[in-house]
Structure formats: structure tokens, C-alpha cells
Amino acid sequence: MPKATQRRPAGGEFSLIAGLAKELAQVSSRAVQLGIGDDAAVLRVGKERLVVTVDDQVEGVHFDLRWLSAADVGYRSLQAAASDLAAMGAEPLAAVASLRAPRGFPEARLRELARGQAIAARELGCPVVGGNVARDLHLSVTTTVLGRVQRPLLRRGARPGDELWVLGELGLARAGLLLHQQGPKLPRRLAAVARRARAAWARPRALLREGLALRGRARAALDVSDGLAGDVRHLAAASGVKVVIEATRLAALVTEDLAELGDLLGEPGVALALNGGEDYALLAAGPRARRPADAQVVGRVERGRGAELELETKRRLALGSGFDHFRG
Amino acid sequence: MPKATQRRPAGGEFSLIAGLAKELAQVSSRAVQLGIGDDAAVLRVGKERLVVTVDDQVEGVHFDLRWLSAADVGYRSLQAAASDLAAMGAEPLAAVASLRAPRGFPEARLRELARGQAIAARELGCPVVGGNVARDLHLSVTTTVLGRVQRPLLRRGARPGDELWVLGELGLARAGLLLHQQGPKLPRRLAAVARRARAAWARPRALLREGLALRGRARAALDVSDGLAGDVRHLAAASGVKVVIEATRLAALVTEDLAELGDLLGEPGVALALNGGEDYALLAAGPRARRPADAQVVGRVERGRGAELELETKRRLALGSGFDHFRG
């Protein structure tokens, strides 16, 4: 953090973020244990370690009101923000939200949005304790989540020899988005996976329990919010290692019906898994002996730099801008 | 908090905020000492008391880029957010900011904005430790500030017999805004006050020192962000008292040159002081014997409800929607 949101993962934005971070990092204090650059910042307050992170959901950029109810927008805004806490192995404390809406946006729908926030707040144990309301050209929610942590899990720390783990779903929410964008006619046998995919996109869940279970096990972690292909590069860069994703293992994570749905949507299963970010899965690296029960191995950490996809033939592709053509 | 921003102080917005607050207040936790409804929320974390507040600065709503540099936008976004902490007698710890800009907005100007944030961060002792960057239709900054406090000063607590105090300037920033909007030709003798007014609007300061000096002295406080006439009603409502502003005392706060500038801008001195919010002055109530040295008395607290302006003739006007016609 700052990180690019889902629709701004291109190289230019990362250089912008680095430029802004450079200006802001000029000012620090004793309270700052970890500033800009990870999933969340870490502050020392007395004997406590606080984690703080902010996330935006902007109409027309992150969502479309033809596809989401106002309650969905509220729900996912809080879950998406809390996902950064999950990635750090932190527990949420509370959130504040800035809600902006155009003049004439019905008050009843804003209340519906707040009800969606409240449902997520209850599930996460993360009450929304304050906020701000302002007029804007379209609907948006900016959510700041505070949490507590003992030893935060960072993006740095992965070592050669570690396994690469995924916790949670990959590609399902991406399929949900593509379903909304393309509106294809589906064979009846794909109705169930399509329903699951739409739900995954509309109502993602921050994997708090899974993040807590990584403590003492993973050496590095982050949440997959910009897409696995991009986020794995962040882990590699922060840890100063090379991360290799094994295509056969990744393919094995994609259920048969999701793969079939992906084919129909023009994005094969592995591409869905590499591009999908809005499932808010967790990506972690750690020693095999400490792998949590619900972690799925998708690759490994090696000496070197960057991220690669290893095909079944053992041929390797660099995960870089070359994968952006998978994006819709 | 949530509170209306400067341009949304009408009755409809307050009912919206109450509606949203009602939905969100359904979920709380042991950590929440004070939720939605004051300048900031208060959280218990171990032995610490944390204060958290969020504020928006939206292009076309809160500012206009013809009148402010990008650095001004960054500077005032952090100061405005920190002002809620000042009103609680809290000390800032750190901030996070969400920055949204249209496609093609020059990166150099975004860096200039971050430099403005960094200048304010240094002045306030409040580093910006994280953020988010997203695309939007226009420029905006949403800032969440965290602080520490021992016993927060709330809006409730004022008692009949208390004096009403103002710390800081009133109306100067409002005159700065009107100068930008109207662009009048000024006589040379008003050049100095016009310069001060423009600076007050472009670079407001959170009155942290003044807020800390209110601890153990004031019984209730808030910052004047929506305009004195409106904010005094919040204090009265939260405390269950009537607050009377004395017009002669208020007029005495307005310097002669500011009053003359106000006349020229079509808003006499007292109206500037009643309408102006963006000076981020502090408004507090407390016993005369405990008045801080730099507090200026503008009225008193009585039994009853609501807020009134007492004219020199002793005639009283209710401060309600009736004063909205002063707004530009």
C-alpha cells in the first residue's frame, strides 16, 4: 500500500505510486514501524501493534451498478479493505468509510449500501465506527480498516526452497465479472458454477481465519487483489527471490466446471486463475513442513529475481507484462 | 462523524447521515468506546485510546483547481482531516490517504499534491503511512487520520452557565473562497487582508495545540467545519442545551479590514463569521474560570434547546435554516 486498484495495475501506475511514496516517506515518526509499500502500514502504539489500510470502490472503475446491488457494493467494500489485514495475519478492530454519491441518488439505496456494510462488519467482527458523506459524480466507497497484530506477515521474507501457497479460490470472481460483461447463454450444466462465480464477484470474503492460520507458518504473504500474475511479482520483488508458479498445479486448482466456463468466456482456467484478483485469495510462501492444512501448493521459491510460469513441458514463461493480454 | 462536508450541510443530508448511522450502529464491539456521531470515533486498544476520523476533498465540491495548486489540495486535505482530532484534544499518530485522479492527470501534479501532504504531515507530526491510488472522473483525496487521546473532548458535556469559546479565526477562509468565486477589483488598502483570506482558504491549519490546551478546561468542543451557525447547533443538540451567540462579541472578532472586505463581497462581517467553516476554528464550551488564554468568548450556554443569535438590541434570532440565505 499504496497499491494500484484492480483496474490500474499497469507499469505506469506503479511508477506513479513509487513517486508518491517517495514524497510521503520524507516524513516519518517513532510510531511508524512499517510505512508505505506493503499490504498495510504498521504502527506502534504503546505496547500494541496497529495495522491500517485503505481501499477504494469506485463506480465505473471497480463495479457497475447494473451488476451489483447497493448492498453488494457496501458488503464488498468492507471485505476488500479487510483483505489486506488478512494478508498480514491481523485481526480487524474497526473501520471508517467515506461514501460519495451523485445528487439525487436515492437515500433508500444508500441505506441499503450501509446495510451491506453492516452485514460484512458483523461477519468480520469489524464495526464501521465513523465516516463521511459527500456529493460526487458517481457512487464510491473509500474504506479504511484498522486492525491489531502481534508480528505482521509481510511481503518480504520468502526464501529459496519455500513452497508457494494459495488459500482460497482463484479465478471464480473473475469468471463472475466476465459473465456480467459478456452475458453469454450458458448450458444448464454450468448454471451452478455461474451462480457461484457471480456470488464470488459480488460478495467476496476477506480470509481472516486463513490469514491468522499463516502466523508462525508462512514467511511472507499478500492478498491477491490485482491478479495472481501481478501479485506474485510483488512477493518476489519484496523478498528478493524468484517465484515459480507451476501451471499443472494451478490448473488443478480450477474445478472442471469453472474451466469449462472459462473456455466459454474466452479465458481458459489457468488464465482465469492468473488474472483473477477479486477473490481476495491469500498468497504465501513458507517451508513445506509448516504448510497449513488448507493451503494449496501452486509453486515454489528459487534463487533469482522475478516470477515465472512453468508449463507442463518445463518451459518457463516470465510473468510480466506479457500476461496482460489475458485481461478483458 | 459521519458529518456533512462543507457543501452538504442542508437538513436532508443530516437525515441521510442519521439513517446510515442507524444501519451501521447495529454492529459494535468491546473496542468501540465512541462510534458514529462525534468529530471522531474513539477505540480502546489495550490501555490506549485511539481516535479515528475521515475527511474528503473532492474537486468541484470542496475545491476548484483554478484556485488551488495541487500542493494546496494535498496540504489542506491532511489539515482538514486532522482538525477533527484537534477538536477532541487528541494528538495525531499517522494518516492514510486515497488519491483519485482522472486518466491523463499529469503525474508531476500528483507528486506536487503529495509534497503538499508531506508539508502538512511534518507540521502536524502526522506521517502519511499508506494509501491507495485509483482512477476517477476528477481529482479527490480521502484522508483518514489516527490519533491518541487520554480523555476525548466530545460535543456533549456543555452545561448551562458555561461560556462559549472560539479558538482561531472565523470568516477569513470564507472571504478567501468568495474572493476566488467573485474575483472583484479591490482597493489597495484591502490587499493585505485579501492575501490573508486567500491563504486561510488554501492552507488552513488544524489547531492541534489549541485543542490540547482545552483538555481539563472545556466541557465540550468541536471544530467549525460546516460553518459556525450550523456547528453551534450540533454542540447544543449533543449537549442538550441552548447555545446563544452574542452578535456584538462575534462582530468584535472580525477585524475591521475583514469586515470591509466582507461588505465588498456582499457578506457582512458577522455573516462571514457565521457561515465560514473552512478556517477550522475550534468551538468549545466551559466554565469562565477555566477559559484558556487564547479563547475568545462569543456567547454562552443556557437551559433549553437549539441555538440563537442575540443581537445588540437583545432581540434573538434562531440559528437554523433561516441563516442559509447567507450562503453563497
* Tens of pLDDT, residues B64-93: 999 999 999 999 999 999 999 999 999 999
Same domain flag for B238 and B311 = yes
Same domain flag for A263 and A194 = yes
Q: How confident is the model at residue A11 (pLDDT cuts 50, 70, 90)?
A: low
Quote the CA–CA distance of A32 and A129 in Å, as a whole number.
23
Interface of A with B in 46-65 (CB under 8 A): 46-48, 50, 52-56, 58, 60-62
Average pLDDT rounded to a whole number, residues A39-58: 93
Same domain flag for A187 and A303 = yes
Q: Does B156 touch chain A (CB under 8 A)?
A: no
Q: Does A134 touch chain B (CB under 8 A)?
A: yes
Same domain flag for A123 and A204 = no
Quote the CA–CA distance of B105 and B100 in Å, as a whole number.
10
Same domain flag for A127 and A172 = no
B23 in a structural domain: yes
Q: Does the beta-carbon distance from B142 to A146 stay under 8 Å?
A: no
Identity at A43, one-letter amino acid code: L
Domain count, chain B: 2
Average pLDDT rounded to a whole number, residues B30-47: 90
pLDDT greater than 80 at residue A259:
yes
CATH of the domain at A22: 3.30.1330.10
Which candidate from B15, B46, B94 shows the least CB-CB separation from A46?
A: B46
B6 in a structural domain: no
Domain that holds residue B99: 11-148
Quote the CA–CA distance of A255 and A261 in Å, as a whole number.
10
Over the stretch A74-133, which tens digit does the pLDDT of each residue have?
999 999 999 999 999 999 999 999 999 999 999 999 999 999 999 999 999 999 999 999
Same domain flag for B95 and B72 = yes
Quote the CA–CA distance of A282 and A211 in Å, as a whole number.
7
A109 in a structural domain: yes
Q: Minimal Cα–Cα distance from A309 to chain B, Å?
A: 28
Average pLDDT rounded to a whole number, residues B38-65: 92
The residue that leads in pLDDT, A324 or A12, is A12
Round the average pLDDT of chain A to a whole number and report it. Answer: 91
Quote the CA–CA distance of B38 and A181 in Å, as a whole number.
42
Q: Does the beta-carbon distance from B129 to A7 stay under 8 Å?
A: no
Q: Does the beta-carbon distance from B134 to A5 stay under 8 Å?
A: yes
Which candidate from A31, A46, A135 shows the least CB-CB separation from B47?
A: A46
* Burial group, residue B44, by CB count within 10 angstroms (0-12, 13-18, 19+): middle
Helix (H, G, I), strand (E, B) or coil at A278: coil
Comparing CA positions, the residue from B97, B9, B5, B104 lying closest to residue B58 is: B5
B83 close to B207: Cβ distance less than 8 angstroms? yes
Identity at A131, one-letter amino acid code: G
Give, in order, the Cα–Cα distances in Å from A205 to each of A74, A84, A187, A309. 12, 11, 28, 27
Quote the CA–CA distance of B154 and B42 in Å, as a whole number.
10
CA torsion through residues A311, A313, A317, A323, sign: negative
Quote the CA–CA distance of A223 and A207 in Å, as a whole number.
9
CATH of the domain at A175: 3.90.650.10
B319 in a structural domain: yes
Q: How confident is the model at residue A164 (pLDDT cuts 50, 70, 90)?
A: very high
Q: Look at residues B148, B183, B217 and tell me which one is the last residue of a structural domain.
A: B148
Q: Minimal Cα–Cα distance from B224 to chain A, Å?
A: 15
Give Cβ neighbours of residue A283 (< 8 Å, ≥ 6 apart): A164, A165, A166, A221, A222, A223, A224, A228, A231, A232, A235
Round the average pLDDT of chain B to a whole number and report it. Answer: 91
Give residue B11's pLDDT.
53
Order of strands, sheet of A32-34, starting from the edge strand that comes earlier in the sequence: A32-34, A41-45, A48-58, A140-148, A91-101, A128-135, B3-4
pLDDT greater than 70 at residue A212:
yes
Same domain flag for A70 and A213 = no
Q: Look at residues B89, B113, B148 and tell me which one is the last residue of a structural domain.
A: B148
Same domain flag for B127 and B177 = no
Give Cβ neighbours of residue B306 (< 8 Å, ≥ 6 apart): B233, B236, B242, B243, B318, B319, B320
Encode burial over B272-298: b for 16+ CB neighbours within 10 A, e otherwise: bbbbbbbbbbbbbbbeeeebbeebbeb
Same domain flag for B51 and B132 = yes
A4 in a structural domain: no
A241 close to A164: Cβ distance less than 8 angstroms? no
Q: How confident is the model at residue B4 (pLDDT cuts 50, 70, 90)?
A: very low
Q: How confident is the model at residue A168 (pLDDT cuts 50, 70, 90)?
A: very high
A53 in a structural domain: yes
pLDDT greater than 50 at residue B19:
yes
Q: How confident is the model at residue A8 (pLDDT cuts 50, 70, 90)?
A: very low
A3 in a structural domain: no
Same domain flag for B64 and B167 = no
Q: Minimal Cα–Cα distance from A23 to chain B, Å?
A: 6
Average pLDDT rounded to a whole number, residues A158-166: 98
Q: Does the beta-carbon distance from B99 to A148 stay under 8 Å?
A: no
Q: Which of A1, A27, A103 to mutate to test the interface with B (most CBs of B within 10 A)?
A: A27
Which candidate from B8, B53, B118 shows the least CB-CB separation from A134?
A: B8
User: B8: nearest CA in chain A?
Assistant: A134
Quote the CA–CA distance of A308 and A324 in Å, as a whole number.
14
Give residue A38's pLDDT.
81
User: How many other C-beta atoms are found inside a 10 Å radius of the C-beta of residue B185?
Assistant: 5
Same domain flag for A61 and A139 = yes
Q: Look at residues A98, A120, A148 and tell me which one is the last residue of a structural domain.
A: A148
Give residue B12's pLDDT.
64
- Residue A78 is placed in which grid cell? 468492507
Write the DSSP symbol of residue B188.
G
Give residue A37's pLDDT.
79
- Residue A179 is placed in which grid cell? 459473465
Give residue B17's pLDDT.
86
Q: Does A125 touch chain B (CB under 8 A)?
A: yes
pLDDT greater than 60 at residue B312:
yes
Average pLDDT rounded to a whole number, residues B189-215: 96
Could you tell me where the DSSP H helices lie in chain A?
Answer: 11-24, 70-88, 107-124, 172-182, 191-202, 208-213, 228-239, 247-253, 256-264, 269-275
Give residue B172's pLDDT.
96
Q: Does A97 touch chain B (CB under 8 A)?
A: yes
Give residue B323's pLDDT.
45
Give residue A321's pLDDT.
53
Q: How confident is the model at residue B321 (pLDDT cuts 50, 70, 90)?
A: low
B232 close to B307: Cβ distance less than 8 angstroms? yes
CA torsion through residues B259, B261, B264, B268, sign: negative
B239 in a structural domain: yes
pLDDT greater than 80 at residue A6:
no
Average pLDDT rounded to a whole number, residues B245-253: 95
Enumerate the residues of chain A whose CB falls inside 8 A of the CB of residue B129. Answer: 32, 34-36, 41, 43, 52
Give Cβ neighbours of residue A214 (< 8 Å, ≥ 6 apart): A89, A153, A167, A221, A282, A284, A286, A292
Average pLDDT rounded to a whole number, residues B91-110: 95
Give residue B325's pLDDT.
36
Q: Which of A109, A129, A138, A154 to mutate to test the interface with B (most CBs of B within 10 A)?
A: A129
Same domain flag for A174 and A312 = yes
Quote the CA–CA distance of A52 and A145 in Å, as a whole number.
6
Average pLDDT rounded to a whole number, residues A133-140: 92
